[in-house]
Amino acid sequence: MTHRHDRLIDVPGLARVEGEGAMHVRVRDGEVEDVRLEIYEPPRFFEAFLRGRRHTEPPDITARICGICPVAYQMSACAAIEDACGVTVPPTIAALRRLLYCGEWIESHVLHIYLLHAPDFLGYDSALDLARDRRDLVERGLALKKAGNDLMEAIGGRAIHPVNVRVGGFYRTPAPADLAPLRERLRTALDQALETVRWVAGFEFPPFYHDHEMLALTEPGRYAIESGSIVTTGGLEFGVRYFERHVVEEHVPHSTALHAHLAGRGRYLTGPAARYTLNQRWLSPLAKEAAEAAGLGTQCRNPYRSIVVRAVETVYAVEEAIRLIDAYEPPPFPAVPVPSRAAAGYGATEAPRGTLFHRYELDADGMVTSARIVPPTAQNQAAVEDDLARFVAGRLDLDDHLLTHQCEQAIRNYDPCISCATHFLDLHVERS
pLDDT for 14 beyond 60: no
Buried b (16+ CB within 10 A) or exposed e, 163-182: ebbbbbbbeebbeeeebeeb
What confidence tier does 146 reach under pLDDT thresholds 50, 70, 90? very high
Q: How many CB atoms lie within 10 A of CB 36?
A: 19
- Kindly state the average pLDDT of the residues 140-168: 96
Lowest mean per-residue pLDDT among 31-45, 300-314, 374-388, 403-417: 31-45
> What pTM was computed for the model?
0.90
pLDDT interval class at 57 (50, 70, 90): very high
184 marked among binding-site residues:
no
Cα dihedral across residues 359, 362, 366, 371: positive or negative: negative
User: Does 373 appear as a known binding residue?
Assistant: yes
Domains of the chain and any CATH numbers: 7-206+327-430 (1.10.645.10)
Mean pLDDT of 42-59: 87
The pLDDT of residue 426 is above 60: no
- Is 407 among the annotated ligand-binding positions? no
Average pLDDT over residues 315-332: 97
What is the arithmetic mean of pLDDT over 304-325? Answer: 98
pLDDT exceeds cutoff 60 at 420: no
Alpha helices per DSSP H over 5-134: 46-50, 58-62, 70-84, 91-110, 118-122, 127-133
Q: How high does pLDDT run on average in the chain?
A: 89
Residue 212: is its pLDDT beyond 90? yes
- The reply, when asked if residue 219 is annotated as ligand binding, is no
Confidence of residue 40 (pLDDT cuts 50, 70, 90): low
Is there a binding annotation on residue 102?
Answer: no
Please list, in sequence order, all residues whose beta carbon lies within 8 angstroms of the beta carbon of residue 258, skipping any fewer than 6 positions away. 249, 250, 251, 252, 374, 378
- pLDDT value at 15 more than 50: no
What's residue 5's pLDDT?
56
